[in-house]
Amino acid sequence: MGLFFALVICFVLDLSVVRSARILAVFPSLFYSHHLFYRNYIDAFLDEGHEVVLVTPCNTYSKGEIPRNLTLIDVRNVSLNLWTEGSAKIIAESQNNVQMSQGIFELIVQIIGKQLQTDEIKNLIGDKNKTFDLLLTEAFIKTTLIISHYFKIPVLEISSLGQLYGDFENIGAPVQPLLYPRPQRKRIYNLTIIEEISELYKDFQISNLHREKLAGNSNEVLKNTPFGSTPSINILQNNVHMLFLNSHPVWETNRPVPLSVLYAFGVHQKPYTELPQDLLTYLEASVNGVVYVAFGTTANMELYSAKVQVLLNAFSWLPYDLLFKWPEDELPGKPENVKITNWFPQADHLKHPKIKAFITQGGVQSTDEAIQAGVPLIGIPLIWDQWGNAERYVRHGIGVKLEMEHITEEQLIEAVNAVVTDDSYRRNTARLRALLRDAPQRPLERALWWTRYLLRHGGASHLRAPAANMSYAEYFELELCLILFSSRHEDSELAASSRELAYREGRQWKRQREPSRAGRRGLAVRMGASVG
């Protein structure tokens, strides 16, 4: 009997545990905070004993901290200057989201082309003895899919921003810009018909740019890489087996998705750690409470110097203390109630009861951390998905949205006072937190389970939706519609011809059967004479 139970336990363990796997993770973007999302996920696999090769320009590991089973390929040297100079120019010169998207798409492909030409990547690809079980890539960057072709491995795409252009089209989830708006849109709710048409047109433009600039330019880049003859990006997208999104169904308007999509909102969350003593002392000493201000890790605030002064002027009129995350040691015009520093343990100090509100650019990590802490938000979006996140602050009643371009001192003062003094914002935030947390597994545990599922089964092509990686022409069956339309048109012409022919034949038959008008009159006269 003991042997039987031992065998059962071994069988169960064999089903639930994946033997040491070799994972290749290629995360080429330069959004540092997003790599913290990937870091938590990668660390969990390293802790399980899997081998990971990580290609990144954002090394989040300090010297001596790199685990033995992690091989780090740092491509920062060929990426950073190109990104810093290029992105600053694009943001400064772009007049709207469409222009900014075009510039960013082109720049990203250019940077990845440089990364693929590095000696480290060439050596990785050139080593015929290297094998991997799974490729992890950033969802909106398609160029790196070529690596899956070389190693013949399935791809797990991960989006640290939630859904982006091309993600759901590739995975086969429904795409309907009115019911399921993308977070990259500047406006989502309470639109007039003219505004709705304008937003839909911009959405179409950016979606088309994504196909042209990211996919089209990627095909050109692949011609100059050490991979030799390569399939097109459209074909390579068939290697994508699953998509992980740093979002939640409630936040994403409950879009129906296939099993190959996993919502992994909160994967980057970590247990609470004690605050530094100086920060704790500052918070405890505040009489009216503290408002936290941070605009993320990628925003170049020098581009908004005039508006920063507007913020500082408004801060000086507030009855609260303010903690302002600022990259420099000095901030000209800083009021006495403002304390600046270049780093805060954001997720932890937001949970302190003295924090009354969070003024943020609306990044997904900042949004998540504020919701988990139950802190209401004032969103001042700057780029990309931040606009949609700030729109949803208002939608869920957890904060307000302001526009940096048009912000005034009066608007900011009113917004801060509203979210601090109106308890409904904090109640709504607490309710939303409860909804997002209510799940059978923690987000990281769920993400790990599904990754192990991919490793156990050598991929998950059996989960792919029928619409995965279909063109719009295929998805909407335009060829079939054209055939039916042509057939109906031909039937209509045939029916009309038949009716005309029947009419002519009927007239002829009627003339043959009926006497002429003169004949009918003569017949009537003869009949009358006979009767008389």
Domain of 462, CATH number, reads 3.40.50.2000
Please give the pLDDT value at position 333: 85
Q: Are residues 145 and 57 in the same domain?
A: yes
pLDDT along the chain (532 residues), means of 10: 50 53 90 82 92 90 86 88 82 76 82 87 84 92 88 92 81 84 80 86 82 75 75 88 91 88 86 88 92 83 80 92 88 88 88 94 90 94 87 94 90 94 95 91 92 94 87 80 76 56 50 45 40 38
Residue 96's closest CA among 228, 188, 185?
185
**Tell me, what's the pLDDT at 454?**
94
Do 433 and 446 reside in the same domain of the chain?
A: no
Tokens found for residue 165:
């252009």
pLDDT score of 125? 83
- pLDDT for the residue numbered 14: 45
Q: How far apart are CA 135 and CA 152, in angstroms?
A: 10
Residue 430 falls inside a structural domain: yes
pLDDT at residue number 435: 92
How many helices (H) and strands (E) would you count in the chain?
Answer: 21, 13
Say if CB 106 and CB 89 are below 8 A apart.
no
Q: Could you give the strand order of the β-sheet that contains 70-74, starting from the edge strand earlier in sequence?
A: 70-74, 51-56, 22-26, 134-138, 155-159, 240-245, 261-263
| 209 lies in the same domain as 284 | no
259 and 318, same domain (yes or no): no
- 60 and 106 share one domain: yes
Are 421 and 463 members of one domain? no
On whether residue 370 sits in a domain, the answer given is: yes
pLDDT at 13: 46
Q: For position 172, what pLDDT does the model report?
A: 87
Count of CB atoms within 10 A of residue 90's CB?
18
pTM for this entry: 0.82
Tell me how far apart the 2 most distant CA atoms of the chain are, in Å.
132
* Residues 93 and 229 grouped into a single domain: yes
Number of domains in the chain: 2
Regarding whether 204 and 124 lie in a shared domain, the answer is yes
* CA 46 to mean position of chain CA atoms: 26
State the pLDDT at residue 12.
45
Q: Are residues 184 and 234 in the same domain?
A: yes
Same domain, 141 and 32: yes
34: in domain: yes
In a domain, 124, yes or no: yes
Reduce the DSSP state of residue 376 to 3 states and report it.
Answer: coil
**Residue 446 backbone phi and psi in degrees, to 5:** -65, -40
Evaluate whether residue 519 is within a structural domain: no
Shared domain for 357 and 325, answered yes or no, is: yes
* Same domain assignment for residues 401 and 319: yes
Q: Is residue 193 part of a domain?
A: yes
**Residue 11 domain-assigned (yes or no):** no
Residue listed under structure tokens 């059996």: 462
pLDDT for 459 equals 92
For residue 420, the one-letter residue type is V
Structural domain containing residue 64: 18-267+441-470
In a domain, residue 517? The reply is no
